[in-house]
Chains A and B, each alone.
Chain A
């Protein structure tokens, strides 16, 4: 950014320019995964947990999210509640975040780890969370109560 003091002007002129003349700066293009990643409360919760630890098992994540959503301690989460969240993570939210480059998922161990776009998503989330979403953030970052 520092070597492009006139980036605002470039952006405006880019709107009418052909794609091959001048693309927007890379950091502008990369805002897309941030919005896509944070568009569902379960994905936001998952991203909050990544602020605390960069590797999670899918079962632990499902347990934490079910505890948050049902407002019970982790040890009181029922198998049905956990399974409901687990299924939506496995079939929807985890592959979505993998697609957006926020996490990687190991099929065999069923663990997720941060990927190349994690940092910018987490940075955005910290800014949002502090003002709008702090209860969820605190819960996600808290210790498991098992």
Chain B
């Protein structure tokens, strides 16, 4: 999709870290596993915030087409996740339309969009 060649789109663990990172964080939201609503809803709310629309206006495609959200939910927040594994933070990232979505095992959902080269 991107025409940018090898300027390191995915080479950093934290895309906010490198000076030449092509992604900018535009929204984040904390997911509460015990709260009301599932991870899908939380991710869509975060994307809605990034787009500046209401969550029900986030459409095409369904998140289901991009990633297996129940699998992330189970891996990070499921009943079998032990206390020890919560000591380290894992991250799953995937693409939704132009956005890079990161879901961290500490519950933070972060939405990044590609930076405009001219924009600093």
- Which residues of A line the B interface, CB within 8 A? 83-84, 86-88, 90-92, 94-96, 99, 107
Q: Known interface pairs A95-B64, A95-B65. Does A90 touch B59 (Cβ–Cβ under 8 Å)?
A: yes
Size of B's binding interface in residues, CB under 8 A: 19
- Which residues of B line the A interface, CB within 8 A? 36-38, 40-41, 44-45, 54-56, 58-60, 62-65, 69-70
Bound Cα distance A87, B59 (Å)? 9
Are the CB atoms of A84 and B41 closer together than 8 Å? yes
Are the CB atoms of B37 and A84 closer together than 8 Å? yes
Are the CB atoms of A88 and B40 closer together than 8 Å? yes
Q: In the complex, what residues of B have CB within 8 A of residue A87's CB?
A: 40-41, 44-45, 55-56, 58
Q: Known interface pairs A84-B36, A84-B37. Does A92 touch B55 (Cβ–Cβ under 8 Å)?
A: no
Are the CB atoms of A91 and B62 closer together than 8 Å? yes
Are the CB atoms of B41 and A88 closer together than 8 Å? yes
Q: Known interface pairs A84-B37, A84-B41. Does A92 touch B59 (Cβ–Cβ under 8 Å)?
A: no
Q: Known interface pairs A84-B41, A86-B56, A87-B44. Does A92 touch B36 (Cβ–Cβ under 8 Å)?
A: no
Are the CB atoms of B56 and A91 closer together than 8 Å? no
Looking at A90, A92, A95, A99, the one whose CB has the most chain B CB atoms below 10 A away is A92
